Structure 1
Amino acid sequence: MTSTHVPPITEEDIANFLTNTPGFFERHAEVLASVQITSPHGQRAVSLQERQAEMLREKIKGLEHRIMDMVRNSNDNTAIATKVHQWTSALLRVKDPFDLPEAVVSGIRTLFDVPQAAVRVWTVAGPYIDADFTQGASEDARAFASSLTMPFCGPNLGFEPAGWLAQEAGEPAQSLALLPLREGAIDSATPAFGLLVLGSPDPQRFDATMGTEFLSRIAELASAALVRLK
């Protein structure tokens, strides 16, 4: 006499059965009503319906948090767009090109809450050759600016441009953002005609891991204004 081994029914078998038999709980509603599971908010047992309601409330709460994050991001983006508009408008109102470098850096300090900012430009037209904003950029600094195809962000490791910053006593820049100035897009092969440097005593303000899309747009807007000096 041979015996037939029947494998035990697994949870997966039960799950597959219920999935493929949608009318089961319609025919056996008393089973659904009697199911009790442990609530995640305590050790008490709750019905399946109650647990589903809890899960739905948790899902709604998660969606509410996501919506609030989206609203905050939208408000932040709107505030940034407003500041960029104000800064750009101020640059467009500058009549004398000689005043443009100061307008660039003062606007960045004021509107974007950057503690330190400076700019140097070279290959300028005759009337601006001896201006302060053309002085102090070595050939190495100019070559470095031309090598950048995106803003550099990171710690102040003694870069020459850090010396251009007007530093308050006891608060040297700990982090820097170096923005190349060139005609056209920031990532073009055109040699840079200047460099905009932003500094902060906060080591994390211009972290190497931060996104540079916003800084790239700032560099391109500053370039479009300062190209009048050429």
Structure 2
Amino acid sequence: MTDKPQAPADKPSEQPSESLTPALEAQAVAEYLRAHPEFFVEHEDVLVELRIPHQRGDTISLVERQLKLLRERNIEMRHRLSQLMDVARDNDRLFDKTRRLILDLLDATSLDEVVIAVEDSLRQEFQVPFVSLILFSETATPVGRWVNSSEAQQAIGGLLSGGKTVSGTLRDHELDFLFGEEQRKEVGSSAVVALTHQGLHGVLAIGSRDPQHYKSSVGTLFLTYIAEVLGRIVPRFTNTLRSVR
């Protein structure tokens, strides 16, 4: 007996082509919108982002042009808002670090504690790679770094005369005085502020390896606050510190 020809085995069912997926998704979206006609009333922000052509021939209607402009402005405003939020968060963090440092300075019971609080906070909390706190005195002090008035005026008199925070790229001899010859080679930009209160008592300088980090237009409000507090606290602990003015 000859075997009867067998019916061809059923072919496995083919999976839907991936190219059909977008069409299926579009159909599902369309069905959802038909079932929920109030959707765009409750989600107007989505409506602004939709692209709804309203063309006659090869021309674009005024309505579509207006919607396009509104969409672009909406995206631009979102970017600006995001940038403002980033700045606000950064300022919040800076304020909190500054507040903790100022409280430590107010609690300090010696000049040694003042110097340690400033240097540790700026290096560890503020993540500043180069920190220089120099006190001005005609006689040697056992704490921190000190220089006499004539040496300070000769080296950085131009930075102290204005009474304001100076930021940007400093000259080599100024960097040598503030950070030392070895560190000066690594400093790309700096911010310098005098410690003043009824006289000039010292200088506080911070530096970055990035030449663009401390631009002349960069706000130095928090550094100025720290310096103002130091200008009032430092003279309390020693009578040997004198104004260079």
Q: Deviations over 1:108-143 (max 9, x none)?
A: 12222211112122348xxx9432435334514147
Match of residue 13 from structure 1 = none
**What amino acid is aligned across from residue 212 of structure 1 in structure 2?**
T
Given the two structures, how large is their TM-score scaled by the length of structure 2? Answer: 0.61
Give the Å deviation of 1:54: 1.9
**Is the Cα–Cα contact under 8 Å of residues 175 and 181 in structure 2 kept in the other structure?**
no
Q: Within 1, Cα distance between the matches of 2:160 and 2:65? A: 62
Q: CA deviation at 1:95?
A: 2.5
Partners of 1:170 and 1:161 in 2: CA distance:
5
* 1:102 pairs with 2:110: no
1:197 and 2:197 aligned = no
8 Å CA contact 1:154–1:208 kept in 2: the answer is yes
Would you say 1:136 and 2:150 are equivalent positions?
no
Matches within 5 A, 1:45-194: 45-123=59-137, 129-142=140-153, 144=157, 146-160=160-174, 162-165=176-179, 172-183=186-197, 190-194=198-202
Q: 5+ unaligned residues in a row in structure 2: which ranges?
A: 1-53, 239-245
Deviation at 1:176, TM superposition (A): 2.4
The percent of aligned pairs where both chains have the same amino acid is: 25
State whether residues 173 and 200 of structure 1, in contact with CA within 8 Å, keep that contact through their aligned partners in structure 2.
yes
* SS of residue paired to 2:147: coil
Cα distance in structure 1, aligned partners of 2:148 and 2:188: 20
CA contact (8 A) 2:165 2:193 kept: yes
What is the root-mean-square deviation in Å for CA atoms of aligned residues? 3.1
Give me the whole-angstrom Cα distance separating, in 2, the residues matched to 1:47 and 1:160: 64
Between 1:80-89 and 1:195-204, the stretch displaced more is 195-204
Specify the SS of the correspondent of 1:159.
helix
What SS class does the counterpart of residue 117 from structure 1 fall into?
A: strand
User: 1:177, 1:197 within 8 Å by CA — same for their partners in 2?
Assistant: yes
Contact 1:180 1:219 in 2 (8 A): yes
Pairs aligned (count)? 182
Which residue matches 1:210? 218
Shift of 1:150: 0.3
Distance 2:184 2:151 in 1: 28
Q: Unaligned stretches of 5+ in structure 1?
A: 1-34, 39-43, 184-189
Per-residue deviation, 1:225 = 3.1
Structure 1 runs of 4+ with >6 Å offset? 166-170
Inter-partner Cα distance in structure 1 for 2:56 and 2:118: 64
Q: For 2:146, give the aligned amino acid.
A: Q
Letter in 1 for 2:195: L
TM-score computed with the length of structure 1 as normaliser? 0.65
